[in-house]
Amino acid sequence: MILIAIDHAHGSPRRGAYELVSAARELGGEVAAVVLGGPEAAPVADALAAYVPSVVHVDDASLDHASHERRTTALASVAADLGVDVVLLGAGRSGQAVGPRLALRLGGALLEDVAAVRRDGPAVVAERLAYLSRASLTVRAEVAPVVVSVKPGAYPVAAPADAPGSVASRSVAFGAADDVARLGERRSAARGRVALEEADVVVCGGRGLGDAASFERLVVGLADELGAGVASTRAVVDAGWRPYDEQVGQTGKSVAPKLYFALGVSGAVQHLSGMNRSGTVVAVNKDGDAPIFKVADYGIVGDLHEVLPALRSALAGLD
Amino acid sequence: MIIATYVKHVPDAEARLTADAGRIELDDDAYALDGMDEYGVEAAVRLKEAGLADEVVALAIGPARSEAALRTALALGADRAVLLETDDDLDPLAQAGPLSEATLACGAELLWVGGKQADWDSAALGPAVAEALGWPLCDWTTELRLEGREVAAVHDVDDGSEAWRAPLPVVVTTQQGLNEPRYPTLPNIMKAKRKPLERQPLTVAARVVTLAAALPSRARRGVRLEGDAATVASELARRLRDEAKVL
């Protein structure tokens, strides 16, 4: 049986949850979903029941804002009770921390941050990027069960199933080690804009913008007009123009939108590793030799202060 | 208190990769101490300099050439080093057991691990070794203070940041912004050559094996648009709609 762990926010599954449903259906076999959280997570479980035959809701409000240890214990007990051979979870920050713990606790293997996963006879095999996303590796788990963290955007969003599934609520027993870490204030970066990993269009600004005010006016301005996510390079974050959670690259987020604008971005390897799965890439930079042009579908060598206002008018003028 | 800090010898970001018979091949001199691990070495050394730790031990798992990464850590201020030597390509879960044993053997109560490894693009070792030790994990850490026996930290989560506290012992993984690592000075590089470095052979079964490796390159249109701003802008808008069909 395959168990998928559902990420959710504000009473709804995140888009990644539906991507995991697609991955599970492709793998084949019985599928169940697990939702962690108090009563506010009940609608999440109900929503998932339209997609998978069986949903387990670990109904415990202590899981609404819980340590990695506590979440691992909850997932491990559900996985063990169901006797699963594969657990799928999203490779966001939380999934990347819980996945290894869960795999080790279940005595299994971890296939991490994969772009595709399949069965090869009894084995589970995956494709994943490595070496700052410059190489693609085919990897096989040598022990079971197999915990697989799936790269956001790697699979399409699934369609509902023909017949609705059922939801069962349960509780889980926690141990002393689950409560050692105490979590404090959470500062959410929500700014009423689409989440970067879920955006169809991402507008990214680099050091070439010159200053924070130009970034706000040109990059954020274009993003708001397109309903796009706003991203930054490391140089911009280090300069204090923009917050960390907008950073795309090795130490930031990994995105794969349909359309990616790289504006004033030079294209360091570390940045490319976070965006090179994007569909169409547009680069605007005043330096025609910038490495970003090597990964661009459309390149414009020019002054951002002239090109971007012109682009906004041109986009507004499309019928 | 003793602090352990894990270091890995990884390909430099600018190193040219080649895939040969399904393996990624590189020259030995294309490797360096992983930048994400440098933050952990720096944080550990600063805690010692502040009088909050007695000893900093650098730990590595890997082939003989990993000694170079350990020597860099020693030049940056670590006191001694241990290399668990293996030529096997071990996945993070396979490394977790031996690393947890090495951490306990040196008496450390705080273990630093780089947030993400530049070779496997993996963030799994920190969580895996925390599980093997049964210690709590603070991942993607941007601030950390020791308040007596208590660790007070701030770390990145999916949608922002979060305050985190736990009593020692803990595993902490690094995130950029944690600190500004120093550069090794020539006298310290010389001194590092005389600091103790212990080698132990390591045999452990891998839980994940690599079947093939390739260097994919996604085909891009590579179209350069030329002309004044208004011309290139309207040409781009038109192509995004009609050619790429993304608008």
DSSP H stretches of helix in B124-196: 125-133, 186-192
Q: What is the dihedral sign for C-alpha B36, B37, B40, B45?
A: negative
- Residue B65: its pLDDT value, please? 94
Query: Which residues, including other chains, have CB under 8 Å from residue B60's CB and lie 6 or more apart?
Result: B6, B7, B8, B9, B66, B67, B69, B70, B81, B82, B83, B84
Q: Which two tokens stand for residue A180?
A: 């050692």
Question: Considering the entire predicted model, what is its pTM?
Answer: 0.91
- Residue A191: its pLDDT value, please? 63
Answer whether B24's CB lies under 8 Å from B18's CB. yes
- Residue A215: its pLDDT value, please? 97
What number is the average pLDDT over the span B94-107? 98
Band the pLDDT of A137: cuts 50, 70, 90. very high
- Residue B218: its pLDDT value, please? 80
Question: What is the Cβ-side half-sphere exposure of residue A151, based on CA atoms within 13 angstroms?
Answer: 25
Q: Which two tokens stand for residue B64?
A: 């003989």
Residue A81, Cβ neighbours under 10 Å: how many?
A: 11
The more confident residue out of B97 and A277 is B97
pLDDT digits (tens, 9 = 90+) for B190-235: 999 999 999 999 999 999 999 999 988 788 999 999 999 999 999 9
Determine the CATH number of domain A196-317: 3.40.50.1220
Q: Which positions in chain A touch B229 (Cβ < 8 Å)?
A: 302-303, 306-307, 309-310
CA distance B190 to chain A (A): 31
Whether the pLDDT of residue B164 is over 70: the answer is yes
Nearest CA to B170 out of B150, B142, B147 is that of B150
Average pLDDT value for chain B:
95
What number is the average pLDDT over the span A281-308? 96
Q: Which positions in chain A touch B171 (Cβ < 8 Å)?
A: none
pLDDT digits (tens, 9 = 90+) for A104-125: 999 999 999 999 999 999 999 9
Mutate to test the interface with A, among B207, B217, B231, B235 (most CBs of A within 10 A): B207
Q: What is the residue extent of each domain of chain B?
A: 2-201, 221-247
Q: What is the residue extent of each domain of chain A?
A: 2-179, 196-317
Distance, CA of B171 to CA of B124 (rounded, Å): 12
User: In this structure, are strands B137-147 and B150-157 parallel, antiparallel, or unpaired?
Assistant: antiparallel
Band the pLDDT of A198: cuts 50, 70, 90. confident
Band the pLDDT of B15: cuts 50, 70, 90. confident
Q: Compute φ and ψ for A191, nearest 5 degrees.
A: -125, 30
- Residue A146: its pLDDT value, please? 98
- Residue B221: its pLDDT value, please? 93
Cβ contact B223–A92 (<8 Å): no
pLDDT digits (tens, 9 = 90+) for A39-49: 999 999 999 99
Architecture (CATH level 2) of domain B2-201: 3-Layer(aba) Sandwich (3.40)
- Residue B217: its pLDDT value, please? 78
Band the pLDDT of A190: cuts 50, 70, 90. low
Largest Cα separation within chain A, whole Å, is 62
Q: Which positions in chain A touch B205 (Cβ < 8 Å)?
A: 142
CA distance B103 to chain A (A): 18
Cβ contact A130–B229 (<8 Å): no
What number is the average pLDDT over the span B15-32? 83
Annotate A149-172 with DSSP letters as a single string.
EE-TTSSPPPPPPSS--EEEEE--
> Complex ipTM, two decimals?
0.93
What number is the average pLDDT over the span B107-126? 96
Band the pLDDT of A245: cuts 50, 70, 90. confident
Distance, CA of B178 to CA of B43 (rounded, Å): 8
Cβ contact B236–A108 (<8 Å): no
Answer whether B180's CB lies under 8 Å from A238's CB. no
CATH fold of the domain at A2-179: Rossmann fold (3.40.50)
What number is the average pLDDT over the span A291-313? 96
pLDDT digits (tens, 9 = 90+) for A34-86: 999 999 999 999 999 999 999 999 999 999 999 999 999 999 999 999 999 99
Q: Cis (ω within 30 of 0) for the bond into A145?
A: yes
Answer whether A287's CB lies under 8 Å from B212's CB. no
Element (H, E) at A13: strand A12-13
Query: Which residues, including other chains, have CB under 8 Å from residue B207's CB and lie 6 or more apart?
Result: A108, A109, A110, A141, A142, A143, B91, B93, B94
- Distance in angstroms between the alpha carbons of the first and the last residue of chain A: 49
Residue in chain A nearest B96 by alpha carbon: A104
- Nearest CB to A131 within list B119, B132, B158: B119
- Residue B36: its pLDDT value, please? 96
Whether the pLDDT of residue A275 is over 90: the answer is yes
DSSP H stretches of helix in chain B: 35-49, 67-75, 92-105, 125-133, 186-192, 229-242
CA distance A162 to chain B (A): 31
What number is the average pLDDT over the span B18-42? 88
- Distance in angstroms between the alpha carbons of the first and the last residue of chain B: 58
Average pLDDT value for chain A:
95
Q: Across the A/B interface, how many CB contacts are shorter than 8 Å?
A: 269
